[in-house]
Structure 1
């Protein structure tokens, strides 16, 4: 289980690097097929671009919660991150599915940020 959380944390760092570089489509392309079915690339791009435009680059991200769930659909790892950006902060929820070979793929992303709403 520790390995799964470490893998998910590395994926969060990869997500943040892509966010900072404005590469929302790279995030979408690397996401789990179920994520891509549920979210159109343009729609996801608008969300990620809004996070980047309104909050700026990631300055610090600290894990404040976690969960794991093993189902017939795979093993899911959820990380809740308290993230500080250039222009505010927010609580991000990442959900990853651990697939064959230990590969982690994004199946869910959510951000709650009053600073983003106000900017």
Structure 2
């Protein structure tokens, strides 16, 4: 029994420490999402683009990205409330990625937003992906 405990205790400690890192990362993601929403509401879409991860900037053009976020803002209005309804973390050879799914209420409707962030140096987060599913946006 004592041998078994010697093997299990390090795993339990590692899991506990890993869980703390994940919690802190999602707290940072909540801050980043708040900043994203403030910039969207202020029409500072260009700032969102320039601070985004290089992978996002390679995947789409600045014009298309700004058109998407401009449509979100024009059709749904300013953010009123947002609540995290799901999350995921994935460590790959390309980095550690955090995905937060948010239920967001805007002035003119609701939507489910998905934010994907890459965790980089000093645990800084950069936006790699953004997606919104909104019936209200489609119909307005």
Q: TM-score, normalised by structure 2?
A: 0.84
1:106-117 equivalence runs, <5 A: 106-117=127-138
1:1-119 equivalence runs, <5 A: 1-119=22-140
Instruction: For residue 101 of structure 1, report the CA deviation from its aligned partner.
Output: 1.1
Q: Report which of the two structures shows the higher radius of gyration computed on alpha carbons.
A: 2
User: CA separation in 1, counterparts of 2:126 and 2:28?
Assistant: 10
Aligned structure 1 segments of 4 or more residues deviating by more than 2 angstroms: none
The runs of 5 or more residues in structure 2 that have no matched partner are: 1-21
The runs of 5 or more residues in structure 1 that have no matched partner are: none
Q: Which has the higher contact order (CA 8 A, sep 6+)?
A: 1
User: Could you say which residue in structure 1 is the equivalent of 2:6?
Assistant: none
RMSD: 0.5
Higher helix share: 2
Deviations 1:51-96 (A, max 9, x none): 0000000000000000001111111000000000000000000000
Higher strand share: 1
